[in-house]
Structure 1
Amino acid sequence: MVGIFVLIAIVIFVIGILTLGGQQKRFIESITVSTVFDDVEGLKVGNNVWFSGVKIGTVKGIELFGEAQVKVVMNIEQEAQKYIRQDSRARVSSESLIGNRIIEIIGGTPSRPAVQDGAILAAEPGMNTDDIMKKLQQNNENLATITGNFSLISEKLVRGEGTVGTLLTDTTLAKDFRNMVASLENTSRNASRASQELSRFSRKLNTNGGLADELLTDTVVFSRLQQSMTELEKATQSATQMVQNLEQASSKVNNDNNAVGVLLNDPEFARQLQSTMQNLETSTEKLDENMEAMQSNFLLRGFFRKREKEQRKAAEKAQEQQQQTEQIPVKQEN
């Protein structure tokens, strides 16, 4: 019985040794890689080494290095050596929020050669649990402040304070708001109708054979329209020149340095001209009287009679010529 118990104890001991050795990678070929950290954050010998979420080794040793740094030596499986590059980095991480500390190997350029036994990997600052807890504490405090502020805001809203509270409690303002929304709906419907009308108008413009289509597509109509605009521009220039000439003429008419300006603007000259015309009329009447008197004079009576006789002869001769002229076409017709 004693031998049986001893044998069972030896078997259990061997199985435990093999199990612990398998977990610690004691019976697997490995290489040694080290990294120097500023703070290992509670890392212990025997903790796991992970790469891309896969366990590839354990922490072999932890020792102080330099003035205030820590050197961590790791055993890495030889099978995982080909996946770790020389420019890979190591950082202290955690299996979970409150789990054991681990070493996590990250990064690495595929074109770089694999890491060798005894290599030193660069360290990368990891996430500190204390810092995370501090951030969580600050977030909790901020959340409590936000909750308190929201409670105050909700109380003011219930009491009807502020603009939003007034909107929630004032029925008149609510009606006005509904009316405004209704007006916006009417505006949107009008805008929709206007858009439809504009669409129909644009389709009419694009109708083949229409005036707008010919103006936009027919080069002949466009050239004619361009010529018309050119002629219109010339006519406008001519009208402008004519207006300028009229302005110049009107300025000359209003000037007293010429005859027309004097006739139109000088009242004294107008009176003198009127007096002169009256004198001419009077002189004409007197001249007629003098002519009649001369005709009655016995000295000049023969002269006037002779002239009247010559005038009668000339009139009779002209009348005979006219009669002869009228008779000639009649004979030709016969």
Structure 2
Amino acid sequence: MKKVFSSNITVKTIFEDVNGLKAGNNIWYSGVKIGTVKSLRFLPNSQVEVMLNIEEKSKEFIRKNALAKVSTDGLIGNKIIVIAGGTQKVPSIEDGDELAVAKVESTEEMLNVLSENNKNLLSITDAFKKISKNILEGRGTVGMLLNDDRLYRDVDETLAGLKKAATNAQTLTASLSAYSTKLNQKGGLANDLATDTLIMHDVRATMFRLNETVASANAMVNNLKTVSADINSNSKSPIGVLLHDEATAANLKTTIQNLETSTSKLDENMLALRQNFLFRRYFKKKAKSEAKEEEVKKEDNKESGVKP
């Protein structure tokens, strides 16, 4: 039954605890028996070295990175070695190789975990009991919500307001989306300003010229302010004298009146001179010459097509 006469290879594995494993127990791989436990021996560091006899015909399916663990054949059966895992890229095992051990939780460890979980469940149950009692007695926010109708209505109204605000936010978002879509349409001013480099260049140039114009206007205004201040402060300059000296202004008015009177008298004298028989012939001759020049000028304009 132990296939004594079949060809085998021997590999080893080292366990911290074999849980009652003994020589002659079976070795399984993917649910198939492939060998038996050859021997067990203690190592100096409280570990157990287990030698495994594996059928040679099965070694090609077991990879060097496969893991071994101690298990049970059924619920109350004998202990067995189970080999599992391994990747196809890794070579198959050979005689004398050592298999790594898969970590397995012992029954004692599992019972300890279950005991700890029971304690935690008990604590959680006690906490839930206290919470449910406070809720039933109307303590805390949840208890007040369950027992106070007024507070419940307030919360309900608040939720309705939040729902309405969310609806308005969605409407606003849709409007903004539609507006942004229109801005992105080609041909619009905003799209041209954002995408047309020529327009932006012209806008920048225009702004630069506007800045220069404003600067020039500021300089001119400053100059006018300076001149005005100088005129107001310097009463000895010609303009200052005209603005501030009343005597000079009166003399200037008198001079202008005298010039107007002299001009009028000069016109009268010239008219009288033209009526004088000594100069009458001169002025008639001059008038004829001017009339002749006017006729020649009209004839030239007609020939050239220019309207008089």
TM-score, normalisation: structure 2: 0.68
Q: Which moved more, 1:176-185 or 1:52-61?
A: 52-61
Asked if 1:81 corresponds to 2:33, the answer is no
Secondary structure at the counterpart of residue 112 of structure 2: helix
Q: Aligned with 2:179: secondary structure?
A: helix
Residue type at the aligned position of 2:49: K
Q: How does 1:139-154 map to 2 (within 5 A)?
A: 139-154=117-132
SS of equivalent residue, structure 1 residue 183? helix
Are 1:260 and 2:238 counterparts?
Answer: no
Tell me, yes or no, if structure 1 residue 101 matches structure 2 residue 74. Answer: no
| Partner amino acid, structure 1, of 2:271 | Q
Q: SS at the partner of 1:34? A: strand
* Change over 3 Å in CA distance of 1:217–1:37 after alignment to 2: closer
Task: Confirm whether residue 115 of structure 1 aligns to residue 93 of structure 2.
Answer: yes
Aligned to 1:296: none
SS at 2:41 equivalent: strand
Report matched runs for 1:195-206 at 5 Å.
Answer: 195-206=173-184
> Does 2:271 match 1:319?
yes
State how far apart, in whole Å, the 1-side matches of 2:207 and 2:222 are: 22
**1:82 maps to amino acid:** E
Distance 1:72 1:312 in 2: 149
State the secondary structure of the residue aligned to 2:159: helix
CA distance 1:94–1:135, shift in 2 (3 Å):
farther
CA deviation vs aligned residue, 1:198-257 (integer Å, no higher than 9, x gap): 23323433445433344345555444433322222222323444565577x39x94xxxx
CA RMSD between the two structures: 4.2
Deviation at 1:149, TM superposition (A): 1.0
Letter in 2 for 1:140: N
Match among 138, 149, 164 for residue 142 of structure 2: 164
Residue identity opposite 1:320 in structure 2: A
Correspondent of 1:189 among 158, 167, 178: 167
1:179 aligns with 2:131: no
Go from structure 1 to structure 2 and tell me whether the alpha carbon gap of 1:320 and 1:113 turns closer, same or farther (over 3 Å shift).
same
Count of aligned pairs between the two proteins: 269
Q: Given the alignment of the two structures, is residue 62 of structure 1 paired with residue 62 of structure 2, yes or no?
A: no
CA distance in 1, matches of 2:200, 2:9: 89
Q: Give 2:255's aligned residue.
A: none
Give the gaps of 5 or more residues in structure 2: 236-243, 252-261, 296-308
Q: Say if 2:188 is the partner of 1:210.
A: yes
- DSSP 3-state at the match of 2:105: coil
Q: 1:32 is matched with which residue?
A: 10
Distance in 2 separating the partners of 1:130 and 1:322? 152
Picking from 125, 135, 149, the partner of 2:113 is 135
Deviation at 1:30, TM superposition (A): 2.9
- Deviation of 1:152 after TM superposition, in Å, equals 1.2
Q: Give the TM-score of the pair, scaled to structure 1.
A: 0.63
Q: In structure 2, how many angstroms separate the alpha carbons of the residues matched to 1:39 and 1:220?
A: 83
Rounded to whole Å, the distance in 2 between the matches of 1:239 and 1:94 is 103
Give CA-to-partner distance per residue, 1:280-319, whole Å, 9 cap, x none: 69xx9xxxxxxxxxxxxxxxxxxxxxxxxx9999664233
Shift of 1:161: 1.1
User: Sequence identity of aligned pairs in percent?
Assistant: 38
Q: SS in structure 2 opposite 1:229?
A: helix
Superposed CA deviations along residues 135-168 of structure 1, whole A, max 9, x for unmatched, are 1211121112112211211111111111222222
Distance 2:264 2:12 in 1: 158
For residues 29 and 91 of structure 1, the distance between their equivalents in structure 2, rounded to whole angstroms, comes to 24
Larger radius of gyration: 1
Q: Against the structure 1 CA distance between its residues 315 and 60, is the aligned structure 2 distance closer, same or farther, given a 3 Å change threshold?
A: closer
Distance 2:264 2:54 in 1: 160
